[in-house]
Amino acid sequence: MKVLITGSEGFIAKNLVVTLQQIRDIVIVPFNRSDDLEQLDSYTQDCDFVLHLAGVNRPHDVQGFMLGNYDLTKILLNSLKKNGNRCPVLFASSTQAIVDNPYGKSKIAGEKLLLNYHLETGARVLIYRFPNIFGKWCRPNYNSAVATFCHNIAHELPITISDPSLIMNLVYIDNVVEEIINALNGTENVVGDFSEVPEVHTITLGEIVDLIYSFKRSREERSIPNMADEFTKKLYSTYLSYLPENQFSYDLKMNIDQRGTFTEFLKTPDRGQVSVNISKPGITKGNHWHHSKNEKFLVVSGKGVIRFRKLESEIIIEYFVSGDKLEVVDVPTGYTHNIENIGNEDLVTVMWVNESFDRDNPDTYSLEV
């Protein structure tokens, strides 16, 4: 399938193209504003699908809206008619099409061209009134509040919030790309006369900003956001894409003594905490038990033994562990336990506990195994 993409250097197209490049039998024909219109006429001769993603939302003057959103659409459709090509056309419109402003007027004018083109030629036409789209590679400080907030907060630049209570309707770029590919396959999501992208997220501007600031703080707090919430998960992925390239890494606080180190890696409000424990040869750590707190130990390097003893028993249970054979050892409640390095190298253990450490209620009681 030969797919003509207008606006091929734009935000949507960049994400779409890298996905389409992984699909066999898809030939991408890009067209952007720097190309000559004669090229467009050549491209429409034998393309099998048109993804009309080109558009203007920040022109130099008001007339630029119609030039970019109406005139180009008209040229494209006339070219298809001239070449007798009735292939499907997908048009990236906007929810602003129902708003009485120059941008909205230019978008609805383009929609009418498409609808009339369908009636005249019988060609399949898909019109998507996209709400605000967010995700990686969106240009900040242009026309996307999410991109601007992510970029500026990641770079420690100031932001301006006009109205924190303003309700935003947003779709994630990956969902947009998925829906466009569905359209290419003839399985688009159609509602009435228009097509829609599923999974529209409704949230206030202030809530978006609060989330992004929490992402920034998460490094210091060693926390991760609530990935069970779809919008939070997508916004966090977006935020990370705006990190300065010299700030991908960040330090952790290592608790160091003669025995080795203990370092907290991640904390979550509902899925516990992950830490990394390093013990020197011959060192034993632990010798304590818990009422409700439970753990999982995973030795990833070195050799060790994990010992357990039930509180009212004298029987010691041993699990010999090694980085040569990765296995998870559960630490049940009511058993005092320890871990000893029996090798000649550092013993490195990834430790998960079901709750973050609470100094006021540690639920940890010393007792030799």
What is the pLDDT averaged over residues 154-173?
A: 96
Whether the predicted pLDDT of 221 surpasses 90 = yes
The residues carrying an active-site annotation are 103
pLDDT at residue 152, rounded to an integer: 98
pLDDT at residue 269, rounded to an integer: 84
The string of pLDDT tens digits covering residues 175-215 is: 999 999 999 999 888 766 677 787 899 999 999 999 999 99
Percent of the chain with pLDDT over 70: 95
pLDDT at residue 68, rounded to an integer: 63
Which domains, from first to last, does the chain contain? 2-210 (3.40.50.720), 254-366 (2.60.120.10)
pLDDT at residue 100, rounded to an integer: 78
The answer, as to whether pTM is greater than 0.85, is yes
pLDDT at residue 71, rounded to an integer: 86
What is the pLDDT averaged over residues 151-178?
A: 96
The string of pLDDT tens digits covering residues 236-250 is: 999 999 999 999 999
pLDDT at residue 6, rounded to an integer: 95
Whether the predicted pLDDT of 62 surpasses 80 = no
What is the pLDDT averaged over residues 223-252?
A: 96
Whether the predicted pLDDT of 319 surpasses 60 = yes
pLDDT at residue 98, rounded to an integer: 81
pLDDT at residue 300, rounded to an integer: 98
pLDDT at residue 282, rounded to an integer: 98
Whether the predicted pLDDT of 59 surpasses 60 = no
Token readout for 204 is 């206030």
In this prediction, residue 57 has a pLDDT band, given cuts at 50, 70 and 90, of: low
